[in-house]
Structures are given as structure tokens and as C-alpha cells.
Amino acid sequence: MPTYSDNRPDTSEQDTNLPPPEQHARQYAAVRDAHETELIEDYVELIGDLLDHAGEARATDIAARMGVRQATVARMIRRLNDQGLVTNEPYRSIFLTERGRAMAEESRKRHGVVLQFLRSLGVDDATARIDAEGMEHHVSETTLGIMREFTLKQKGGD
């Protein structure tokens, strides 16, 4: 039985301790940061995918896949343009700039790592897709690397 002399640092189950306030705050700040860029990333990634698969990215298709109205897409396209991620002319389909392509590529890769990781954990495809769509924006490079490695090992060792 544990006694008062058993005074190793508390490694017990619960870990019910709060981090110091500053670290805690940084945690939430990181989440807020992710939320600032995540929708942009999803749009750019989707536009890249549409360009690859359909040859062009039309506002209608973006709206259908995003599950939002065209008006919402129109305003987002303007914002992407303002940020130098896409080029577009009125009533024509949308294209990625060099920067846009780079972001699309990076997002696509990261998204893929998370999706494959979930699958390799044993999560069914539909669920994995849903979870990955949200999780991808909250995964650090560190964790991403570990996920990549894990997936590889699973694939090798069946």
C-alpha cells in the first residue's frame, strides 16, 4: 500500500492538475490561431482538388461541396484574392496563384496524413473523413510526424 514515504512525483492516474495560467492561455491562443486560417486552408485545398479532378473550380461546385450558399463563396473568393491566393475574373472560374498552389499542396498532404492515420487506427472511412476535416487544423508538426510514422508501421506490419 502507498504511504506518506512514497513521495515520487505524482505520476498517478488522474493528472487532474491545471497547467500554469500562462501556458493554459497559450493553449487556447493556439486554437484561436488555427481557427483564423482553417477555413482559408479548406477553400484553397478544395479549389486545388477541383482543379486537379475537374480541370476547373467553379463557384457553384465549391458551394455544393462546402455546403454553403454561393453568396458565401463569392465573398470568400474575394478574400482569397485579396490575400493573393487565387486569381479570378468576373463570371469565370477560379485559379490558384503560386502561393495558393503551395498552400493547397501543404494542406492536402497534412490532411492526407491525418486521414490515413485515423484509418490505420481502425476508424471507418466516413468517420475518419469527418474527424480528419476538423482535426487536421489542430495537429502540430510534431504530432503529424508521429502520425506519419505510425501509419507507415501499420502498413508494413499489416
Binding residues for DNA, rule: CB under 7 A, are 32, 35-36, 39-40, 58-60, 66-79, 88, 90-93
| 134 near a second copy, rule: CB under 8 A | yes
Question: Which letter does DSSP use for residue 136 in this model?
Answer: G
| CB closer to DNA out of 90 and 156 | 90
Q: Could you tell me the three cell numbers for 58?
A: 467553379
Report how far residue 58's alpha carbon sits from residue 91's, in angstroms, rounded to the nearest whole number: 9
What region does 132 belong to: left with phi over 0, alpha with psi -120 to 50, or beta?
A: alpha
| CB closer to a second copy out of 74 and 146 | 146
CA atoms within 13 A on the CB side of 145: 3
Considering only CA atoms, which of 68, 20, 13 is closest in space to residue 46?
A: 68
| 74 near a second copy, rule: CB under 8 A | no
Task: Quote the least distance from Cβ 114 to DNA, whole Å.
Answer: 20
Task: Quote the least distance from Cβ 95 to DNA, whole Å.
Answer: 12
**Number of residues binding to a second copy, judged by CB under 8 A:** 53
Q: Which residues bind Mn ion (CB under 5 A)?
A: 42, 45, 111, 133
